[in-house]
Amino acid sequence: MINIDQPARHTGIAILNLGFRPFFAGAAVFAVLSVLVWMGIYIFGWQWPQVGLPATTWHAHEMIYGYGLAVIAGFLLTAVKNWTGVQTLYGLPLLLLFLLWFTARLLLLVGGTGLLAWAALADGLFNILLVLALAWPVFKVRQFKQIGVVSKVLLLTLANLLFYAGVLEIYPWGVQAGLYSGVYLILALIFVMSRRVLPFFIERGVDQPVKLTNSAWLDGASLFLFLAFWIADIVEPDSLLVASLAGALCVLHVIRLANWYAAGIWGKPLLWVLYLAYVAVAIGFALKVAVYVLGISPFLPLHAFTYGGVGLFTIGMMARVTLGHTGRNILEPPAAVAWMFGLLAIGSVIRVALPWFDAAHYVLWVGVSQVLWVLAFSLFLWAFLPMLFQPRTDGQFG
């Protein structure tokens, strides 16, 4: 299924020219439709057809392994080509990989209990083939420094299979472990990519000269503590140990944010959206402490990590990658980007903060945050979907 031959300048259908195109389009459409379905169930009481998969479990899984992994697939299939110089999937092989992802989403949405195993098969095949599609170019040119990123996608595959083992009652504990492992592995990828690119983006994106720093001890400490935090929160969730590790991680990531700060980011939506995503993750760690100390709902830090951290980071990277890899100027993004990023940022505050301070209207605030999520990704589709379907403006392949 892996085609690494150099393609001709045009293959007929631009959306199949490089991985970011179909997977960003699919992820954004799914971000809108899946949350509309979840809104219908949670707010309006729609009947959920899946007997063997509770609606809350479906929502959690699909935000992580449906939406999240689609963005990861699109980003890494594009980035690995840049890193290695080896052409990643395009054309029919890319379409087949995308259809596996789509099939899993469809089966989990409309299928009954008897189709769960088929959904697991489609999703598992998608995950495994994605790992192979990413690993092959890396090993072909022996660029082993990229193995860390690919290994996280492999671990996401294993975590997803663990989830399905739980749903299919092979390992009942697998559902919780698979879901939380998925969230923390996506956060790990955000940490890695932020460490690589965010200082670079800020230095070259702000209007004044600035030199940002990374710290080796901070990298090592945050990696070790995050691994310990992940394991502890699976084995003994929301315990004193988890709170202690989360508190230390919050401090470390605040230090990192201070090292990366430049006042000029606030005039650049493609910069402040990524910075705010990282802020949301740091807040998530602080809220994990509050779960133990103050007894707040564990869903508040979870949504700081996911709605705020993952949501803002992924929509920001999708916008940036789409502009750059369709031949457009990333310094002159569409006016819609500030609106869609702003809506999502406000939505994350509403989803995390207001249910804490105004628990009597919990459902209302969840509903408002859902509306803002849908509006933000609808704006993304309006502004960026035509770019994903059109050839590059400079005539190059990609």
pLDDT at 7 > cutoff 60: no
Determine the average pLDDT of the residues in 119-142: 97
DSSP code at position 353 = T
**What 3-state DSSP class applies to 90?**
coil
In b/e form, how buried is each residue of 358-388, taking b as 16+ CB within 10 angstroms? eeeeeeebbbbbbbbbbbbbbbbbebbbebb
The half-sphere exposure of 290 on its side-chain side, counting CA atoms within 13 A, is: 18
Find the CATH number of the domain harbouring 377. Answer: 1.20.210.10
Contact 232, 246 (CB under 8 A): no
Residue 396 lies in a domain: no
pLDDT at 2 over 70: no
Give the range of the structural domain holding residue 312, as residue numbers without chain letter.
14-389
The whole model's pTM is what? 0.95
| 51 has a pLDDT exceeding 70 | no
pLDDT digits (tens, 9 = 90+) for 165-213: 999 999 989 999 999 999 999 999 999 999 999 999 999 999 889 999 8
Confidence grade of residue 49 (pLDDT, cut at 50, 70, 90): confident
Residue 161 lies in a domain: yes
Checking if the pLDDT of 394 tops 50, the result is yes
Q: Domain for residue 353, yes or no?
A: yes
Choose among 299, 303, 318, 305: nearest CA to 376.
Answer: 318
Contact between residue 296 and residue 356 where contact means Cβ atoms under 8 Å apart:
yes
Q: What is the pLDDT of residues 295-317, one digit of tens each?
A: 999 999 999 999 999 999 999 99
Given this model, what pLDDT does residue 328 score?
A: 95
In angstroms, the Cα distances linking 21 to 35, 118, 265 are: 22, 26, 27
pLDDT in tens, 317-344: 999 999 999 999 998 999 999 999 999 9
With 60 as the cut, is the pLDDT of residue 10 above it?
no
Contact 397, 9 (CB under 8 A): yes
Round to whole Å and give the CA distance between 111 and 267.
Answer: 46
* Tokens describing residue 392: 């590059």
DSSP calls for 99-165: HHHHHHHHHHHH--GGGHHHHHHHHHHHHHHHHHHHHHHHHHTT-GGGHHHHHHHHHHHHHHHHHHH
Question: Taking the chain, what is the end-to-end CA distance rounded to the nearest angstrom?
Answer: 19
Rounded Cα distance between 144 and 150, Å, is 10
> Is 207 part of any domain?
yes
CA distance 298 to 356: 11
Mean pLDDT for the stretch of residues 148-154: 97
Residue 106 domain flag: yes
What whole-number distance in Å separates Cα of residue 28 and Cα of residue 311?
A: 11
Count Cβ atoms within 10 A of the Cβ of residue 313 and give its class: 0-12 exposed, 13-18 middle, 19 or more buried. buried
Q: What is the pLDDT of residue 6?
A: 52
pLDDT confidence of 3, banded at 50, 70, 90? very low
DSSP state of 6: P
Residue 178: inside a domain: yes
Residue 3 lies in a domain: no
Number of domains in the chain: 1
Give the number of other Cβ atoms within 10 Å of residue 207's Cβ.
9
Q: Which residues contact 293 (CB under 8 A, 6 or more apart)?
A: 243
Q: How far is CA 201 from CA 79, 91, 205, 274, in A?
A: 15, 31, 6, 10
Mark out the alpha helices in the chain (DSSP H runs).
Answer: 20-42, 55-61, 69-84, 91-110, 116-140, 147-167, 174-205, 216-235, 240-259, 269-294, 299-303, 311-325, 336-352, 354-357, 362-389
CA-derived radius of gyration, the chain = 20
Exposure on the CB side of residue 153, measured as CA atoms within 13 A: 25
The rounded distance, in Å, linking the Cα atoms of 99 and 203 is 39
Q: Is residue 379 a part of any domain in this protein?
A: yes
